[in-house]
Amino acid sequence: MRALALVLALAAGAALAQEEKVVLKDAPGRDKAMQCLACHSLDYIQMNSRFLDKAGWTASVNKMINAFGAPIPKEDVDAIATYLAENYGKPSAK
């Protein structure tokens, strides 16, 4: 899987011992959300919770693709945003 390959490539070079302690909630869509690891640690997600609704998370994921060049397939955007909104979204947005 592409996301896993990226993670492994990064793990080889960077000091990730601490970062590995950050674990995303186990729920559908988690594997796709793990693609975020290509560029940054997962604590960015937790840090930006819980105040975004699904539209807010969609905008964030799209910014990562369009502004920062994240290699996330377009068809994964909705699954990732849904996962983030459900697990790290505004409580009322659930």
Partner 1 sequence: MDRRSILKAAAGALGAWSVRDALAAVGSMAELGFSEIPDGALVEQLLHALPGKVPLIKKSYRPPNYETPVEYFRRPITPNNAFFVRWHLAAIPQVGLKDWTLGVGGESAEREFKLTMDSLRKDFKPAQLTAVCQCSGNRRGLFEPHVTGVEWGVGAMGNALWRGARLKDVLQKAGVKSDALEVVFDGADHGALDKTPDFVKSIPIDLALDENTLIAYEMNGAPLPHWNGFPARIVVPGWTGTYWVKGVTSIKVISKPEKNFWMSAAYRLPRGRFKTPSYKSQMTEANEPITTMVVNSLITSVRNGERVPRGKPLEVRGVAWDGGAGIGRVEVSTDGASWAEARLGKDLGRFSFREFAHSVPTRETGALVVMARARSASGETQVNELIHNPAGYHHNVIQRLYVEIV
User: Shortest distance, CB of residue 26 to partner 1, whole angstroms?
Assistant: 17
Q: What is the DSSP letter of 42?
A: T
3-state helix, strand, coil in the chain (%, to 5): 65, 0, 35
Identified binder of partner 1 from the candidate list 11, 50, 76, 93, rule CB under 8 A: 50
Most distant CA pair in the chain, distance: 40
Identified binder of partner 1 from the candidate list 31, 53, 54, 56, rule CB under 8 A: 56
Burial of 33 (0-12, 13-18, 19+ CB in 10 A): buried
Binding of residue 68 to partner 1 (CB under 8 A): yes
Q: What is the DSSP letter of 92?
A: G
Binding of residue 2 to partner 1 (CB under 8 A): no
- Which residue type occupies 58? T
User: Shortest distance, CB of residue 68 to partner 1, whole angstroms?
Assistant: 5
Binding of residue 23 to partner 1 (CB under 8 A): no
Residues that bind partner 1 (CB under 8 A): 10, 14, 16, 18-19, 22, 38-41, 43-52, 56, 60, 67-71, 88
